[in-house]
Amino acid sequence: MPNHKNTPKVNHCPLSCERERVGVRGTSRSMASYVYLIALAFSVINLQGCFPVVATGAGTGVLMAEDRRTSGTFIEDQGIELKASNRLDEKFKDTVHINITSYNRTILMTGEVPTDAAKQEAEKIVHEVPNVSNVLNELAIAGVSSYTSRSNDTYLTSKVKVRFVELGKFQANHVKVVTENNVVYLLGMVTHKEAENAVEIARTTSGVQKVVKVFEYID
């Protein structure tokens, strides 16, 4: 049973927008859920450096097929992440820890930088990447996080994703999960009901301190 004591905060990002309604398939026991869970396992293993590249490609293909973004936008988001990360690495080297997540050309920046000036400069660099439409700068002015902290964030992300699949209230890969310092960010093109369910699952996952919604609404 979820522990409702000290319930994590839920923040609302002002980047939501109205889009054409998209049909939602039930996934409580669907094959798509099991395929997604397998793809998720491939991704986690690959992050640990223990799985061939071909498996990652297969997992990416499965996720793309079930994603609400077009295949072109899906690939473009990956390109944006790579370009932004490379530009930031060139500028700051090892003095910062910045994660770049692109979803439908909206960029979420998480991590740590030493000064407010560095935070603003990093945002400017990301804004200049081609095809970026919005930037949500969630960088903390703090020392670079430890390996232990980052490993715990990866673990929390996996816990939330697995609970999405197990509970089957929506198609799990319609919501992207990013965790930074025990704060869970939820991105995706979703209905209001899907958003509500995703937030409830995330905030009742042990270890999560706060949930921030970065959704685009399609209803």
The string of DSSP letters for 112-150 reads EESSHHHHHHHHHHHHTSTT--EEEE--EESPPPPHHHH
* pLDDT (mean) for 209-219: 97
Residue 198 scores a pLDDT above 50? yes
Q: Which residues contact 160 (CB under 8 A, 6 or more apart)?
A: 177, 179, 184, 201, 202, 205, 208
Residue 57 scores a pLDDT above 60? no
| Residue pLDDT, tens place only, 10-30 | 766 644 443 333 233 333 444
Residue 35 scores a pLDDT above 90? no
Q: Which residue has the higher pLDDT, 29 or 154?
A: 154
* pLDDT (mean) for 112-116: 98
Ordered structural domains, the chain, with CATH: 71-141 (3.30.1340.30)
Q: Which residue has the higher pLDDT, 5 or 10?
A: 10
Percent share of the chain, pLDDT over 90: 70
Q: Which residues pair with 99 in a beta bridge?
A: 110
Model's pTM, two decimal places? 0.76
Averaged confidence pLDDT in the chain: 83
* pLDDT (mean) for 166-191: 97
- Is residue 202 within 8 A of residue 190, CB to CB? The reply is no
Q: What is the pLDDT of residue 47?
A: 42
Q: What is the pLDDT of residue 22?
A: 29
Q: What is the pLDDT of residue 58?
A: 53
Residue 49 scores a pLDDT above 60? no
Q: What is the pLDDT of residue 9?
A: 66
Q: What is the pLDDT of residue 95?
A: 97
| Residue pLDDT, tens place only, 75-91 | 999 999 999 999 999 99
